Structure 1
Amino acid sequence: MPMVGRVGAVATVATLAFCVWLLGGWGSEDFRIAFEDNVFVVLSLFATGCAAHTAFRCRGRQRISAAFIAIGLAGWTVGSVLWAYYEWFLKVSPFPSAADIAYLMLPLSICIGLLIAPVGASGYTYTRLTLDGFIVTAAFFQIGWLTILGGLFEAGGASRFAVGVALAYPIADLLALTVAMLLLGRAPAPHRTPLTLLTVGMALMTIADSIFVYMNSHNDFRLTGYSSVGWALGLLLIALAGLCTGVPQQRVAGERSFSQVAMWLPYVPIVIAIGAAVARFGTTPGMPPALIASVLLIMLVLLRQFIVVAENRRLLAAVAAQAMSDPLTGLANRALFQDRLEHALALHRRDNRQSVAVLSLDLDDFKLVNDGLGHPAGDQLLVQVAARTLARARSSDTVARIGGDEFVVLMEGDDVASREVAREVLRAFDEPFVVDGHDLLLRPSAGLAMVSADDAEVSPELLLKQADMAMYAAKRSRTPGVHTFSPADVSVADAPERDRTALAYDSTVAYKLLGQLRHAIDNQELTLAYQPKFALGDGSIVGVEALVRWPHPDRGLLAPDQFLQLVRDHGLMRPITELVFAKALDQIAQWRDLGLLVPVAVNVFAPSLSDSTLPETVGRALRRRGLPHELLTIEITEDLLLGNTEGAREVIKRLRQSGVRVAIDDFGSGYSALSYLRELYVDELKLDRAFVTTVLVDKRAAAILRAVIDLANELGLTTVAEGVEDPETAALLRDYGCQVAQGYLYTAPLTPAAMLSLLRSSRQAPDEAISS
């Protein structure tokens, strides 16, 4: 606050000028007394106002603490007023007097206020803090008594009551100073500046009061100027401590509880006090051996205490490390990750120069491993995942396990470097994990959220939530690689956590099938069947659709609906799509070599349309086999296009420009069909079998189907009816204007050899096949 800074600066300059005047001794004695007394009244009022202002701004225990300090300063103000009255009006300097009672309120009130102050580690109890304060004070008093004070007291001069009052000053000051030093040694960063000012201020007050004791004991007041300087500077620093005290901040997890100084401080004066006692009485004739043994016993007890304290600190450090780490994997846990994330964002806000990124990982198949192989196997898998992730991350990154199979990585620095680390972490999952003799190939869903150097302030909770939303978006879209958060991912947060909970298989069976399916994909064991597409006008074959089949060693030949759930739930759509695509193009090439140019339709995983390199990949595959682009039709399932329209538009455009045809499969099965016709330029609509099979008995379905066909014809699109099983349906579709049909009315899906035989028997001319 600028005003507080200006007030503190003015007070500092004025006080320093006053101290120079005190040491210079300028002016007459009457003027010096009057001016000094009045300045101390003003200075103490200023310090009281600062403490009261702090109490007004703060809340809770910090307000009570500041209030006690304000009360002590108010007492010092009353003492200054009384002393000015004695010296200025009554022309006397009585000691002891009522002013001394008011002065002594300051160290005692500060001591109470510091004991109430909400700073430092909660485990360091206030009882222990109070005892430490009394121990240090008593030790210093013994040192002073054995060296100087005892002799002064025995020498007389002043009354014992006067000497006792004089001694009360340094004793009370030492108690307050000790408590302040102990608190300073274990205070968190936001409290250290005001506590440092308060501690130094109390040290100056202690020195000034000690000079005061000496002057009253010797009736030698030549050092009065120095004691006044100590009081003035002490009051100034206490006032500045109040000015710079802010609203208390929440303590950061993992911050040190107290320092080495705070730990050992209470023992140092005890050792010195024992040494002073030995020096004082060691040469006394006839010292009993029991006294020597007592001193030795105390030293041994202190030594043992030092060893115990050191061991306790090591144990506390070990416990603290365990509390901030995951017991299974040894990675950071949620608490430590949250602490590191808060610190990284604090640096980001302060420096505004480095980005902060959070990568969220979730193992897609972990539940099946737990259910199929047992929880010990799941734990082994998590340990291996942790080790691989940690090995791929940088030493400056924080890798944490925050849930059962959920891992996060905190990265600071350059955006590009963070993205590369995220990709590198995902590459760690390319090799299978070996658990109980089983090779498990797991794929995580990965979401990345970033705060770049020029981004607005983002809270730790929001950044972690964005990473989670990006991860769930990747899981929902089944997109391989790292999905970076975008505002469109917010809607994913409202989606079910995992669709795989609807898995129709028993978990143990599903786990076994999943492993077998992965093996079949890796070893190219999946095969293709081909269902011909017939022109409704003349019944000629105008193309075929490639359909994947799984020759299972125990269950026989499985159709897609028998394993598609596993494929979708566990991120296998992409490798299966690539396998089907390669085999279908090879089959087209074989038929081409036999003189048959047959258009083939291949289903492509819809999120692949977000890959801008797809047109080039398809083009290279066709050119490598010497195939015309027009022979390939890419079919995208409509219900999987939801949310990908924007990214798909450009990819579809480039595919069609190269000559590849694009079709929307299962048209009408989703909820945004008409919007696709408006936003996506395609060549073909494949009408969902749910409409086709009921067209003869459901007037509403017939009306919708006819309207869609009319609309497609108006847009120049080819319509293909799936699931045609009887001549009546085929005739009705022909009347509606549908051009192509496929279904069991014509033939079931055929093996490549049977399909070749059908093509030859149809004697289809190459030009006719292409032109269709």
Structure 2
Amino acid sequence: MRDREFCAADTIGGPMTGLRARQTIALVVGVVACAIALVLTGWLCGSRISLASLADNVMTSLAAVAMVASVITARTAHGRVRIAWAAMAIGLGSFTVGAVLWFVYRLTEFEHPYPSVADAAYLALPIATAIAMLLLSSGFSRTSRTRLVLDALVVAGSFSIVGWIAVLEDLWKSAPDDRLRVAVSAGYPVLDAAVLTIGVLVVARAHAGQRRTLALLTAGMAGIAISDGVFVYLTANQQPTDTALLYPGWLIGLVLFIGAALTGRGFAHREVIAAQPVSWTSVWLPFVPVMLASVAVFTQSPIDLKAGPVPVIGLMLLLAFSARQLLVMSENRSLLATVAEQALRDPLTGVGNRIVFRDRLSHAMQMRQRDGLSVGVLVMDLDDFKVVNDTLGHPVGDELLSLVAERIVGSVRAGDTVARLGGDEFAVLIEGRVDNSQLVAHRVVEAFDEPFIVDGQDLLIRPSIGLAVAEQDEPDLLAEDLLKRADIAMYSAKRSRAGGVHPFNAEMLLAETADGDLFASGPMPASRSGASTVRLLGELRQAIDQFELTLVYQPKFDLNTASIVGVEALVRWPHPKRGMLSPDEFLPLVRRYGLMGSITDLVVNQALDDVVRWREESLEVPIAVNMFAPSMADLRLPGKFARALADRNLSPSQLTVEITEDLFLDHMERTKTVLNQLQEFGIRIAIDDFGSGYSALSYMRDLTVDEVKLDRHFIAPIPADQRASAVVRAVLNLANELGLSTVAEGIETVTTAEWLREHGCNIGQGYFFSPPLTADNLRDILKKCERDASCRISGCSLRYGSCHWSESDVPHIELMR
């Protein structure tokens, strides 16, 4: 990501709009019309028009088209980009005027066409191109842009010396009274060399989205420079310049200028003033022509050198080169200062890093011992930031972190220190009175009331904030201890999910100390802190890698026939010290630390392997697996499931994917694509935990699903709450209208089961029928049911028939009496 202090980047324009397309077509038509006009002109004029005159006409037409293209591009741009293309339009317009004048000179057989007003018009083009390139360039500070101009002057001066010794000296001697002719002849290669130098250095530092336009401008100028050089050479040697071989460079250059104008639409200037690696081109480019000029000078006698302008040009070249080297030294010092400063800054957000925060905290604690002022440390962590990274991608997550840093900096006082400690964790050092710490902390909380706009989306994200203040009655409190207290308070805030600022208190420290005992004796909390979190996360990763997680299966029953119609796979973690852990006890770690993909692969493959084992005993059991909602935006998911089924020769209809509805679905378009592909393969889709999330009804409307599973908390109040009964009845009717199957979860009483059956619910599951079973126990039950057609797991109260099993037959089944 970008350094907020040194970078302010725009975006490159998108696809060509209809207006731009029409303008492009108009330009192409203009070029074709010019070509037709040229052919007709040559045919009408016959032998009076030479091939060189015809090339002059072509050049004039191309220059005019390039000028119009630049004008159109300038009209679509803004700011310095518009000024750049306006300069190009002026330069090309001047070139067009010069071409027209030169064409007229040839037709009228003007006696002395060189030098003339046409040459002044021609020389305006390289100047305009240089201005445009400087305006369109990116990555240059004011100092480096000045160095760029000095590099151009150094190269121009060097070529002036080489050109004088190689060509122009003879012209000077042959026409001692025509100094203007020599000056104009020298002006062409000197200006061209300077512009090409600027172009090469600008292209070398350009961003990918800008490089094409700048490269076309540089290449176009190179074509112009080649023909200019040939023209000057022919003129200096008093050879005719009406040959058509002189024109390819000019014509190609003008065509490239047209291409640059076309690609320049939508070009957005990106001013990035940041420490960047030095380009080798910028290092050696100024030295090569200086060396060539030195070699050329040594080939001449002192008398010849004194007779011309070489000493003056050499002095100017020396001054420019010296100024250039001084600027390089200045830039190097600035670069070293920048590197030293950035060593103390977070490269992503631009705020301080952990090193500078600890240094300033230690200094503040030392000043506290001397002056008695309080010191406060605020530590904050973004809730569900992992979800943002998993669903929207890490670039969006990085941009969100940068915006969060801006909000925090805008909320604190000028003297407070803001730092990013790592990941999505930030800290603020607050010095002064105790009430200042509270005030700043609450202002930071309020800064998150407005959503963040990232990648065109509104993201409302909340922080968990802990605050620790060093009181005056704790003179020996260390900086590390104060930071640890703020960290403990932050994790307390994260566990409570209550929002606001959580000041540190002694009870939090006691809870943290007792943490290990709590884990050893019972289930673990969803969120953990410190070394315990790291240790438990390592154990979980090891359990996933070594396939130590296991599955249990809860049967799903047809509420009309009481037959088993499928099972739901539920993951469990048989922890060696803490016993069997349910998903609620470790899935928060899975979601937070990006292990959901590994868990999904493990569950799907193990569940399908069990289906294969059941099939070997002639037991066909459809199976359902749970999917984390944001994972449904993974376009690779359908292919992975299809391969897993094909490898085991299983029908896709035996697999149902249940989307957990407790978290919102993002990237809805990609999610729809994934769901459609799954259904095309024959895999069923269900909305799990319906009624527990935020967008249940919109899911039924927008997503093509096959099944709706009513959450246990959604149906539990049915027997005693008429309003709850009415809502569930409405959902059942709606699902039936949409042709969706309905499954009720968590059925625990006969009254609930009977009510659901009477109101059209298709399938039920819960402890009233059966708790989750191991794969072997489920196999035994299915085989027993296959032998005994009248076998039912539930009691007789639902009029399903008599139960033929005793509790001893299936030890883990809790029969309803």
Q: If the length of structure 2 is used for normalisation, what is the TM-score? A: 0.43
Who wins on radius of gyration, i.e. which is larger? 1
